[in-house]
Structure formats: C-alpha cells, structure tokens
C-alpha cells in the first residue's frame, strides 16, 4: 500500500487464550459451594480447547448455579426460571458457529422447566447442558426440589419430603432422540473435566447431571459417597468417559458399560445404593433438529436469507 513501510507485517498474529480470558466477575457463591469447581472446569476446558470468548455463549435459567454467565468473560444470557433451554435452542438456531453451554439446576430443569427439558432433548441441537443437582432450591432458601430425597427436611416440608425423588438420568435417557447422558460430581475435578470435555465434543445435546454440594442448606448430603469410594460405580468403556489410571486407582468399584446399551443404562440410572459416574447413554445417530435441511438450520445465514427472498419472490408473483 502507498506510504507504508515495506518491512511491516500486516498479518494478524494467532491469538492465544489463557484462563484470565474467561474469567468474568468475582463469584458470589457461598464458601465451599460446588458451583465454583464446575466454573473452574469450564474455564479450563475453554482454555484447553482455545475457544474464542466472543464465539462462546453460556445460557442459564434462575438459581444459584445460574449466576454462571456473570462469571464467564464470554457472551451470556441469564434468562428466566426454567427457560434456559428454549433460549439456548434459539441461540443455536441462529448461530450454529458458537460454542454453547447451558447451566440449569434441579429446580430450574426438573420442575418449572420440565417441558422445555423434554423437548430440547428431543430436538437434540448441539449444546452442552450442565444440570447442577444439589437436591434443594438454594437461591430461595431451602425448599424441596424434585430431586430432594424422601424424608429430607426442608422449609416447605419440615417433617420430611413426602415423595420419592424424580430421577433425572432415567428420565432423560427415555426421551426420544436423547443422544448423550452422563453423570459426574463437583468434588472430583478429574472426572468432572473429562466428562465436560466429552460432552463438548459430542455432536448433539449432551446432558450432564453434576451432583453438587450446597454446604449452606444441605451440608453433607453426598458425604457417604465422597468419603467411601466403594459407593461410587465407575462406568468404563472406550466410547464413554475415559477412566484413566488416576480414576481407576480411586474407584475400585467399576463396570464395563457400553453406553449404547439402553437396558443396562436404565438399570444403572435406577440404582440408589451407589453413585454411577460416567456415560450412561450415547446415541451418535440420533436425529438433530439443527441438521434437518427441511428447516434450513444447517444453512449459512446468507443461504437462508436467499431462500427467504426466493420464497417471497414466488409469493409476490
Ligand atoms: Fe451454593 Fe448452596 Fe450457597 Fe447456593 S446456597 S451458593 S447452592 S452453597
């Protein structure tokens, strides 16, 4: 170009992201809250995958965990109670190029958001859904949630929750087009990270239930599983979450589970004597709404606009 020195290099340098690039506001969760561990894992995953912050979006509903987008230096949408999944489906419809994470809680997803949960799983659009399950409504101060264990005391059931809890794993597996269902825990950073990594790489909706500590309202609910690794059932399979030597050395109680085996996945999901860790169900061939050419969601924005224009032209003729 005229006037520029010849030795100038105008090519953009490759960008390298470090953890700081994903850190948003200072988290305001209680000390010891399991949400902080998940936040650290997601930021690490973004760094390791070198996801550009401006190409990453985190959508949440309402609840303690749903403050998540405020703590990420990416795009975020703190939506309405029970509504993160329809918002995320909207984001995915218009922006197939974004990396999309969804944060929801047991109250947000399994109570007010149940209908959206079922249909989003059936739509199977590509996103990583993290369901933080602490068995309680924390933000509104200790009410029974759909996953609260029977007999557990809360502010609405001082004599104990009267009903057996809903089973988020078994329910999700049974939904048409469910393609990825896994469980992990906030207190095992190795398994948590491996699970989120696998979920992010999945082509479709990856549903990850994360057993989460809430020391403020339900301290100690996971202690029997945290302190006794024999009460954890590690699911091992080449198509599942890789059980590396660290995990194998901690969890002696493990089984080979092919995540395409629906009957065994359901049987594992209903076990209440152990906490299963790993991938329960995987169906990479499940239909995807965002890959259905009839809806045009697999097209680029330019192609979609051209299609709309030609339809209008036909209509006007
Ligand atoms: Fe975490 Fe429970 Fe505190 Fe909410 S109330 S921030 S879930 S420890």
pLDDT tens string 238-273 = 999 988 898 999 999 999 999 999 999 999 999 999
Pocket test for ligand 1, best of 147, 217, 220 (most atoms within 8 A of CB): 217
Given this model, what pLDDT does residue 195 score? 98
Distance CA 257, CA 236 (A): 6
**Cβ–Cβ under 8 Å, residues 205 and 232:** no
| Paired sense of beta strands 99-105 and 127-133, if any | parallel
**Cβ–Cβ under 8 Å, residues 108 and 145:** no
Percentage with pLDDT > 90 across the chain: 85
Residues in Cβ contact with 243 at an 8 Å cutoff, skipping those fewer than 6 apart: 234, 235, 236, 251, 254, 278
Distance CA 301, CA 309 (A): 12
Condensed to tens digits (0 to 9), the pLDDT of residues 53-107 reads 999 999 999 999 999 999 999 999 999 999 999 999 999 999 999 999 999 999 9
Q: Output the CA–CA distances (angstroms, integers) from residue 220 to 34, 42, 212, in the order listed.
A: 12, 25, 11
Given this model, what pLDDT does residue 13 score? 79
Q: Tokens 């491996």 identify what position?
A: 194
Condensed to tens digits (0 to 9), the pLDDT of residues 106-136 reads 999 999 999 999 999 999 999 999 999 999 9
Please say if the pLDDT value at position 317 is more than 80.
no
Closest to 155 in 3D by CA, of 140, 166, 168, 167: 140
Confidence of residue 294 (pLDDT cuts 50, 70, 90): low
Pocket test for ligand 1, best of 27, 29, 34 (most atoms within 8 A of CB): 29
**Cβ–Cβ under 8 Å, residues 268 and 276:** yes
Distance CA 62, CA 77 (A): 11
Given this model, what pLDDT does residue 44 score? 98
Q: Is 12 helix (H, G, I), strand (E, B) or coil?
A: coil
- Provide residues with CB under 6 Å of ligand 1: 29-30, 33, 35, 64, 134, 138, 214-217
Q: Mean pLDDT score of the chain, rounded to an integer?
A: 93
Confidence of residue 14 (pLDDT cuts 50, 70, 90): confident
Q: Tokens 């059932």 identify what position?
A: 233
Mean pLDDT over 192-198 rounds to 98
Please say if the pLDDT value at position 307 is more than 90.
no
Given this model, what pLDDT does residue 242 score? 86
């Amino acid at each position: 170009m005229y006037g520029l020195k010849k030795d100038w290099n105008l090519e953009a340098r490759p960008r390298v992201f470090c953890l700081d690039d994903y850190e948003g506001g200072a988290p305001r969760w209680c000390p010891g809250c399991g949400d902080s561990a998940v936040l650290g894992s997601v930021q690490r995953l973004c760094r390791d995958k070198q996801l550009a912050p401006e190409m990453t979006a985190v959508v949440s509903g309402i609840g303690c965990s749903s403050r998540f987008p405020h703590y990420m230096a990416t795009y975020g949408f703190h939506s309405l109670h029970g509504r993160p999944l329809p918002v995320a489906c909207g984001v995915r419809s218009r922006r197939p190029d974004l990396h999309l994470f969804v944060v929801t809680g047991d109250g947000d997803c399994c109570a007010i958001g149940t209908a959206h949960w079922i249909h989003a799983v059936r739509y199977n659009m590509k996103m990583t859904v993290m369901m933080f399950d602490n068995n309680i409504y924390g933000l509104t101060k200790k009410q029974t949630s759909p996953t609260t264990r029977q007999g557990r005391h809360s502010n609405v059931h001082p004599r104990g929750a009267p009903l057996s809890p809903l089973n988020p794993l078994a329910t999700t597996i049974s939904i048409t087009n469910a393609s990825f269902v896994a469980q992990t825990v906030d207190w095992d950073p190795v398994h948590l990270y491996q699970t989120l990594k696998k979920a992010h790489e999945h082509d479709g909706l990856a549903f990850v239930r994360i057993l989460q500590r809430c020391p403020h309202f339900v301290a100690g609910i996971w202690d029997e599983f945290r302190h006794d690794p024999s009460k954890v059932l590690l699911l091992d399979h080449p198509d599942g979450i890789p059980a590396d030597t660290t995990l194998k050395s901690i969890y002696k109680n493990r089984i080979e589970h092919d995540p395409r085996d629906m009957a065994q996945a359901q049987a594992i999901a209903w076990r209440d004597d152990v906490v299963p860790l790993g991938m329960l169900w995987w169906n990479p061939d499940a239909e995807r709404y965002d890959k259905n050419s009839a809806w045009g969601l697999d097209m680029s924005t330019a192609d979609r606009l051209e299609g709309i224009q030609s339809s209008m032209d036909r209509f006007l003729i």
